[in-house]
Copies of this chain bind each other. A is one copy, B any other.
């Protein structure tokens, strides 16, 4: 199963030791762990759309003429309840979407399995906390900054690993 992934690797491939043939399969524990937690984050992000919709119906705030589902209301923006969820959602896009790509390509460097899996777990849980303290139940700082910074640092770490490994292909 993970036999190929156990083979030692000597940097950017151009030596004698073969890189494991394919790390993007269900045989690779790191990839499986990525699959699970990326899926959790995708679901979490999609729930932000539904949370926005919930707030819109709750406070009757709609941005388009064709969305005025209630009588005697007009299009309206800048409602603080709706905008808070939208800011949290935008922050998700700014951070989680680049993370998806970064973590995926980080797998191709065949990282230590425990390190990689734990990075995926911590980063994902941090973003769930971020949503809770930002959009669901606002909490004093620095809770949100810490949750935000956790995935940010993990993504930067992965970026450093990949960039150093592939620097000769600049």
Contacts and interface: CB of A to CB of B under 8 A. Distances in A.
A95 to B, nearest CB: 7
Contacts of A22: 1-2, 4-5, 21-22, 24-25
Contact of A9 (B20, B26, B104): B26
Given A29-B169, A49-B95, A21 B35 contact: no
Contacts of A39: 102, 105, 159, 162-163, 166
A73 interface: no
Nearest to A109: B26
A25 B21 contact: yes
Contacts of A49: 94-95, 152
A46 B156 contact: yes
B26 A2 contact: no
A45 interface: yes
A66 B42 CA distance: 27
Interface string A84-115: 10010100011101101110110011000000
Contacts of A1: 9-11, 18, 20-22, 25, 27-28
Bin the interface of chain A by size: 35 or more
A43 B166 CA distance: 15
A100 B101 CA distance: 7
A131 interface: no
A170 B117 CA distance: 9
Given A1-B20, A9-B26, A43-B156, 7 more contacts: A9-B25, A35-B166, A39-B162, A46-B152, A46-B159, A63-B87, A66-B140
